[in-house]
């Protein structure tokens, strides 16, 4: 059985839809990953063969002021999962982030590039990676700029603003790859069919800035909005972000034969699904 931890989150919901076979999902009501007892109780009872951990404290700015919680959930919590999965002989799949990098490399990050997180969130997720490796049978999947039907995200924020205003300022100096949670969930699912272990980067192909992403969202959705470029400094968010955090996903292609589609194609499909789901 495959157990998805954090099954009610944005990625967790799509994983529950795409993973084949015997799949169970638990979220914070049934498992608190910050509690070793809770993790032990659930995992020893359910005896999964694979645990995919999507549970996390994902409020990047909130992490700056809630360091202890960030470290407990994103770091130590993964350690509890690693300890028990190792004990019961299960594979641990840990979802991680481009924010483990500082963004100064200037070309796409490979899995073995030096890490240097700028934010508390990035540091806590890096601790989570280190903890995940305590189970030798692990996969760490780093991804970025996620959006999906089941959670708060940039696409939904932009589309909500359409009814509220005519102009929006969006950061034009951070570069990455917007990634649809369905494409990521499918990649994780397919990765589980391979013998691949260790760290992999997985994101939709191609790159853009948040500004260019916003323009594409309004254009593809057929919505009127003036998008004004601004700098990260002008926006002044509490958590520092890497300016260039594109992930080189060629190892995923080389080892597993997997390549996620181009981000614009993924966005188009997402907007269609969204319309089908009755959202405008
Ligand atoms: N979103 C992105 O852009 C992005 C980018 C790169 C990597 N990632 C990583 O991708 C993964 C999935 O992200 P997401 O955006 O799908 O996250 P999400 O929507 O915030 O979902 C996380 C889930 O974990 C639950 N949770 C929080 N604390 C928990 C605890 N102590 N025990 C058990 N469950 C707990 C949350 O419950 P509550 O909602 O009730 O707190 C929520 O259901 C995370 O590892 C994240 O770090 C995300």
> Cα of 244 to ligand 1 centre, how many Å?
23
The answer to the question of residue 219 being in a domain is no
Ligand 1: centre distance to CA 12 (Å)? 8
Q: Please tell me the distance from the alpha carbon of residue 128 to that of residue 130, in angstroms, as a whole number.
A: 5
- pLDDT of res. 3: 98
Structure confidence by residue, pLDDT tens digits, 38-62: 999 999 999 999 999 999 999 999 9
What confidence tens digit (pLDDT) does each residue in 62-90 have?
999 999 999 999 999 999 999 999 999 99
- The CATH code of the domain that includes 67 is 3.40.50.720
**Does 20 fall in a domain?**
yes
pLDDT of 190-229, one tens digit each? 999 999 999 999 999 999 999 999 999 999 999 999 999 9
How does strand 208-209 pair with strand 175-176? antiparallel
What is the per-residue DSSP string for 92-142?
Answer: EEEEEEGGGS-S-SSSPBPTTSPP---SHHHHHHHHHHHHHTTSSSEEEEE
Centre of ligand 1 to C-alpha 58, Å, is 5
Tell me which of 56, 124, 182, 203 to substitute to probe ligand 1's pocket, judged by most ligand atoms within 8 Å of the beta carbon. 56
User: What confidence tier does 280 reach under pLDDT thresholds 50, 70, 90?
Assistant: confident
> How high is the pLDDT of residue 93?
98
The reply to whether 131 falls in a domain is yes
49 within 8 A of 2, measured Cβ to Cβ:
yes
CA dihedral 134→137→142→146, nearest 10 degrees, is -110
Is residue 240 in some structural domain?
A: no
Share of the chain above pLDDT 90, in %: 98
**135: domain range?**
2-152+178-205+246-262
| 213 in any annotated domain | no
Q: Which residues contact 87 (CB under 8 A, 6 or more apart)?
A: none
CB 206 within 8 A of CB 262: yes
Within a domain: residue 191? yes
Taking only the tens place, the pLDDT of each residue in 224-253 is 999 999 999 999 999 999 999 999 999 999
Query: Which stretch of DSSP H or E encloses residue 270?
Result: helix 263-276
Asked if residue 110 has pLDDT above 90, the reply is yes
Q: pTM value?
A: 0.98
Our count of domains for the chain comes to 1
Q: CA 192: distance to chain centroid? A: 17
Name the residue of 26, 30, 33, 54 whose CB sits within 8 Å of the most ligand 1 atoms, as the mutation to test its pocket.
54
Coil, helix or strand at residue 32: coil
User: What confidence category does residue 279 fall into, taking pLDDT thresholds of 50, 70 and 90?
Assistant: confident
The pLDDT mean for the chain works out to 97
**pLDDT value of position 261:** 98
What is the per-residue pLDDT for 265? 98
Let me know if 244 is a catalytic residue.
Answer: no
Please, are residues 227 and 177 in contact by the beta-carbon 8 Å criterion? no
Residues with CB under 6 A from ligand 1: 6, 8-12, 27-28, 31-34, 54-58, 73, 77, 95, 97, 125, 143-146, 151
Q: CA-CA distances (angstroms) from residue 250 to 70, 109, 110, 203, 254?
A: 30, 10, 8, 11, 6
Among candidates 100, 75, 80, 101, which has minimal Cα distance to 92? 80
Q: Is residue 278 part of a domain?
A: no
In a domain, 96, yes or no: yes
């Amino acid at each position: 059985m495959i157990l998805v931890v954090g099954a009610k989150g944005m990625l967790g919901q799509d994983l529950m839809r795409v993973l084949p076979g015997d799949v169970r999902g638990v979220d914070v009501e049934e498992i608190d990953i910050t509690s070793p007892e809770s993790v032990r109780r659930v995992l020893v009872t359910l005896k999964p063969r694979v645990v995919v951990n999507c549970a996390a404290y994902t409020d990047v700015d909130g992490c700056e002021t809630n360091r202890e919680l960030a470290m407990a959930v994103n770091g130590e919590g993964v350690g509890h999962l690693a300890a028990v999965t190792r004990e019961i002989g299960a594979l641990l799949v840990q979802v991680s982030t481009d924010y483990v990098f500082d963004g100064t490399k200037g070309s796409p990050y490979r899995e073995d590039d030096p890490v240097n997180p700028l934010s508390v969130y990035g540091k806590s997720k890096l601790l989570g990676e280190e903890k995940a490796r305590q189970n030798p049978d692990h996969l760490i999947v780093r991804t970025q700029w996620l959006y999906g039907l089941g959670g708060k995200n940039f696409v939904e924020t932009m589309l909500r603003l359409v009814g509220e205003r005519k102009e929006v300022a969006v950061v034009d100096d951070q570069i990455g790859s917007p990634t649809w949670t369905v494409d990521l969930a499918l990649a994780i699912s397919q990765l589980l069919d391979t013998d691949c272990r260790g760290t992999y980067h997985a994101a939709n192909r191609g790159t853009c800035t948040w500004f260019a992403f916003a323009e594409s969202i309004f254009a593809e959705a057929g919505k009127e909005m003036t998008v004004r470029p601004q700098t990260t400094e002008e926006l002044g968010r509490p958590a520092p972000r890497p300016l260039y955090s594109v992930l080189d996903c060629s190892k995923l292609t080389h080892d597993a034969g997997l390549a996620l589609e181009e981000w614009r194609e993924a966005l188009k499909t997402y907007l269609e699904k969204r319309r089908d789901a009755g959202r405008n």
